[in-house]
Structure 1
Amino acid sequence: MAERDVDLDTDADVDMGDLFDELEELEELVQTEAAREQVQETMRAAAEASRSGGSFGRVIWGYDRADLAEGVLGSLLFGVPMAVEGGTGEVGAFLAARPPLLAGTAVFTVALLVGILYVADFQDIRIHRPFLGIVPRRLLGVAAVSLLTAAILLTAWGRVDWTEPMLAMANVVVAWFPMSIGAALGDILPGS
């Protein structure tokens, strides 16, 4: 391996996002599978190194059990007030009678998740191995964990009666909206 002169400017701000951009470009350029695996291993090492700093400015890469647990916690923090608040049922009843608004609320919830996770730029979140090649695992995980937590919490606490499925689903969607925000923030703010 040849030696190279590298100018290390210690006063410059190190941007992990730029490093990941460069590594992703390199991954596309390498010719052999062994070299590609080495670049991917370097990306994993860089992600681990970025986790050792504070909560902000890290590169978030991948989605694992820790992210899922953070999402559940964030979801519960935002969801418990929704489960005990009577207004959730009132809004749910309103939306159950207006299916287009109910569907719009669900679509808006997903759009808000995309905004929090990928647009608002709280953290540098990288899409790693998307589900079915197009759906980011983090988006799917945060949406699913918050929706499931909403359904379980409202059912367990007797806030929904599944003998009236449209009303029950509407109540769950109403609770899902803030719970998804909590799940997204709970997942990305610790920076893992």
Structure 2
Amino acid sequence: MSEADAGDEPADMGDLFDELEELEDLVETDVAREQVRETMRVAMVASAAASPFGRVIRGYDRADLTEALLGSLLFGIPMAVEGGTQEVGTFLAPRPLFLGGTFAFAVALVVGIIYVADFQDVRVYRPIFGLIPRRLVGVVGVSFLTAVLLLTAWGRVDWGAPTLALANAVVAFVPMSIGAALGDLLPGS
């Protein structure tokens, strides 16, 4: 760590991971890189044991998807039974710009919760096409699919009117995506 980086703030697990990632890029042999990766795994375990918040979160697996699903359902079930969801969906259906903006707003909220709000130190690990974070795709995908399936299964949407059904699903998706993002970052992630 350089002197400029040290500042007045004490080092934390995020700083350790930054240093290990730099070291991983510097080592020249596969054996040495594997040793650095193993050190990172040990540091992650130690980070998880130390505190449920302020940990470094890397990777995305079934447990994370399950947590996102639970958060999505906790925030989404009230939306599925609330009549206001259909009222807003009816308003948005003939306004594709507002409908797209609502969906984009929900995705921006998810990005903000996961990557900006700093609840946890979330690292992007093996992004899809080298660009799209797996965690973002998982949280958005699980919450949108849950919205569509829940509203369809409970008869809250009629896919005979697909634009209106999609608009209702997007309205329910907004709080469900927030719940999914928060659920994914719960302690124990």
Q: TM-score range by the shorter chain?
A: over 0.9
Report matched runs for 1:45-64 at 5 Å: 45-64=42-61
Counterpart of 1:108? 105
Of all paired residues, the percent bearing the same amino acid is 71
One-letter code of the match for 2:168? N
- TM-align CA RMSD: 1.3
What is the CA-CA distance between 1:134 and the residue it aligns to? 0.4
Instruction: State the shift of 1:54 in Å.
Output: 2.9
Structure 1: distance between partners of 2:148 and 2:42: 38
User: How many correspondences in the alignment?
Assistant: 181
Question: What displacement does 1:109 show?
Answer: 1.0
1:60-104 superposed Cα distances (whole Å, 9 cap, x missing partner): 111011100000000000000000000000000100010000001
Counterpart amino acid of residue 46 in structure 1: A
TM-score normalised to the size of structure 1? 0.91
Moved more, 34-43 or 99-108: 34-43
Question: Which of 31, 34, 40 does residue 43 from structure 1 map onto?
Answer: 40
Residue 53 of structure 1 and its aligned partner are, at CA, apart by 2.8
2: CA distance, partners of 1:117 / 1:47: 18
Correspondence 1:20 to 2:17: yes
SS of residue paired to 1:55: coil
Please give the TM-score of this superposition, normalised by the length of structure 2: 0.92
- Choose from 101, 117, 122 the match for 1:120: 117
- CA distance in 2: counterparts of 1:155 and 1:178, whole angstroms: 17
Any stretches of 5+ residues in structure 1 without a counterpart? 1-11
User: For residue 17 of structure 1, what is the amino acid of its counterpart?
Assistant: G
Which has the higher mean CA deviation after the structures are superposed, 153-162 or 48-57?
A: 48-57
Task: Please identify, of 178-187 and 50-59, the stretch whose mean Cα deviation from structure 2 is larger.
Answer: 50-59
> Which residue of 133, 137, 140 corresponds with 1:140?
137
Q: Distance in 1 between matches of 2:129 and 2:60?
A: 15
CA contact (8 A) 1:151 1:172 kept: yes
Residue 50 of structure 2: SS of its match in structure 1?
A: coil
Query: Which structure 2 segments of 5+ residues have no match?
Result: 1-8
Tell me, yes or no, if structure 1 residue 152 matches structure 2 residue 125: no
Alpha-carbon separation, structure 2, partners of 1:52 and 1:155: 41
Q: Distance in 2 between matches of 1:106 and 1:93?
A: 15
Cα distance in 1 between the residues matched to 2:133 and 2:188? 17
Secondary structure of 2:126 counterpart: coil
Q: In structure 1, what is the Cα distance between the partners aligned to 2:27 and 2:11?
A: 24
**Following the alignment from structure 1 to structure 2, what is the Cα–Cα distance between the partners of residues 87 and 63?**
34
Q: Deviations over 1:83-137 (max 9, x none)?
A: 0000000000100010000001111111111111111111100111101110001
Q: How far 1:146 moved relative to its partner?
A: 0.5
CA contact (8 A) 1:60 1:191 kept: no
Question: Paired residue for 2:3?
Answer: none
